[in-house]
């Protein structure tokens, strides 16, 4: 696991869900689809996204480096939690039907390694979803500046850069933009 330094999210954990909103549930459900039974939410923190995906027949695992964020998880009796870095996921290859990372890639230290690890744990026939603020939008540039001033280690990538990383892994990703965010979507071929 990468060495941890001061973690802003440990400090923000009690208030995070009040300040940062999850993507619209209908958009998220449409992108994830109905079929995935095993979902991994990387950088899932308090579970604001994972909880929206819970159904009686779906298992959702939150993976995050901030144990304080995981302690504040919504639906703690139904969401499994794992203290883990995106760069070194403690799951077997092909473990999940859907792996998603929402609004977190710009916070990880090694983005290409994180994308590689997420792609590794997607099962054949499964889907990887990465949602990020669209750095080409002016309001997001202001957020990036604010995070830099707060000494966060944020590094925002354009959707096409994320897609290029995934393409080098053999994925055929597509980028969709919605308001001030973008989604990079990659379906893993069946063997």
| Residues in Cβ contact with 164 at an 8 Å cutoff, skipping those fewer than 6 apart | none
pLDDT at 140: 84
- 16-35: b (≥16 Cβ within 10 Å) or e: bbeeeebbeeebbeebbeee
Q: Whole-angstrom Cα distance, residue 28 to residue 116?
A: 22
1 domain residue, yes or no: no
| Structural domain boundaries, residue 63 | 8-187
pLDDT at 150: 74
Q: Provide the pairing of β-strand 38-42 with 59-64.
A: parallel
pTM of the model: 0.85
Q: Whole-angstrom Cα distance, residue 19 to residue 112?
A: 28
31 domain residue, yes or no: yes
2 domain residue, yes or no: no
Place of tokens 């899932």: 44
104 domain residue, yes or no: yes
Render pLDDT for 21-62 as a digit per residue (tens, 0 to 9): 566 778 888 899 878 899 999 998 888 888 888 888 899 999
3 domain residue, yes or no: no
pLDDT at 22: 62
Residues of the chain short of pLDDT 70, as ranges, are 1-23, 76
132 domain residue, yes or no: yes
pLDDT at 182: 95
173 domain residue, yes or no: yes
Domain count within the chain: 1
pLDDT at 56: 85
pLDDT at 46: 85
The CATH number covering residue 105 comes to 3.40.50.150
């Amino acid at each position: 696991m990468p060495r941890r330094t001061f973690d802003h999210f440990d400090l923000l954990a009690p208030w995070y869900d009040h300040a940062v909103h999850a993507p619209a549930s209908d958009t998220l459900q449409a992108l994830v689809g109905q079929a995935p039974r095993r979902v991994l939410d990387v950088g899932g923190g308090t579970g604001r996204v994972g909880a929206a995906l819970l159904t009686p027949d779906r298992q959702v695992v939150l993976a995050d480096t901030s144990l304080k964020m995981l302690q504040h998880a919504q639906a703690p009796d139904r969401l499994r939690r794992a203290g883990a870095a995106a760069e070194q996921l403690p799951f077997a290859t092909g473990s999940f039907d859907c792996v998603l990372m929402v609004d977190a890639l710009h916070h990880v230290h090694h983005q290409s390694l994180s994308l590689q690890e997420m792609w590794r744990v997607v099962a054949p026939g499964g889907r990887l979803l990465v949602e990020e603020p669209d750095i080409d939008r002016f309001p997001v540039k202001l957020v990036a500046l604010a995070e830099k001033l707060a000494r966060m280690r944020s590094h925002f990538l354009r959707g096409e850069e994320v897609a290029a990383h995934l393409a080098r892994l053999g994925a055929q990703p597509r980028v969709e933009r919605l308001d001030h965010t973008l989604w990079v979507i990659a379906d893993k071929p069946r063997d």
